Amino acid sequence: MQQLVAVLLAYLIGSVSFSFLYGKLFKGIDIRKHGSGNAGATNTLRVIGVGPAIAVLLLDAGKGVLAVWLGKWLGADVSYIPALAGLAAIAGHNWPVYFGFKGGKGIATTIGVAATLCFVPALIAGAVAIALIALTRYVSLGSLVFAALIPVIVGLMHYSADIFWTTLVIGLFAIVRHRTNIVKLIKGKENKLGQRAAGTPGGKEKAG
């Protein structure tokens, strides 16, 4: 029973949308109706600014860390519970029960989960992703590469099957949530970091 509680709590924690809450509490807006329409750190950067975006990034990553540790504390030494809790937190961020199941793309929470489950692969994948974003200014491309690289590195470093399959599902989550970005990247229409998003839903975007 406590293993189920751990996974459920992880989902509920993941469902807390700090981007949405910041926009509502401090700006009086629904972040999902501005910029890209995504409730995450990148859209917070574009719509609200750098400071709030950093705060959202850290808090969203913290959700992933907390979820995995909940799995460790309540998992009764069942090896796969921390991994399931991490996945539940990412699912909560992507499809939050509190906000009509319309959330973000889960990359910041993925960072927290991956760094807690497999720090070295997450660090390597993160370094590659940061370099790619710096070179191309495409956050979505860096995010996709980060999520896709982790299971590859985990497999090469011979982590447990629980970690491998979890990171593989994380990668699939990222692809599903970034499918529109993938199309835009292929067509050369994806927004770059620091660039206004075209066709902003619900209003004009502030420079970020």
- Per-residue pLDDT tens for 93-148? 999 999 889 889 999 999 999 999 999 999 999 999 999 999 999 999 999 999 99
Q: Is residue 155 part of a domain?
A: yes
Q: Is residue 194 part of a domain?
A: no
Predicted TM-score of the model (pTM):
0.88
Report how many domains make up the chain: 1
Rounded Cα distance between 48 and 154, Å, is: 36
Q: Is residue 198 part of a domain?
A: no
The H-assigned helical ranges of 15-80 are: 18-22, 41-47, 50-74
Residue 195: per-residue pLDDT: 64
Q: Is residue 88 part of a domain?
A: yes
Q: Is residue 183 part of a domain?
A: yes
Q: Among candidates 174, 185, 190, which has minimal Cα distance to 36?
A: 190
Is residue 44 within 8 A of residue 37, CB to CB? The reply is no
Q: Is residue 176 part of a domain?
A: yes
- pLDDT below 70 — which residues of the chain? 195-208
* 206-102-176-164 Cα dihedral, nearest 10 degrees: 110
Rounded Cα distance between 184 and 190, Å, is: 5
> Which amino acid, one-letter code, is at 128?
V
| Number of other CB atoms surrounding residue 162 within 10 Å | 16
Residue 145: per-residue pLDDT: 97
Is residue 67 within 8 A of residue 88, CB to CB? The reply is yes
Residue 204: per-residue pLDDT: 40
- List the domain range (segments joined by +) for residue 134: 2-187
User: Which tokens is 67 given?
Assistant: 């979820």
Q: Is residue 82 part of a domain?
A: yes
Residue 93: per-residue pLDDT: 95
Q: Is residue 206 part of a domain?
A: no
Rounded Cα distance between 170 and 206, Å, is: 31
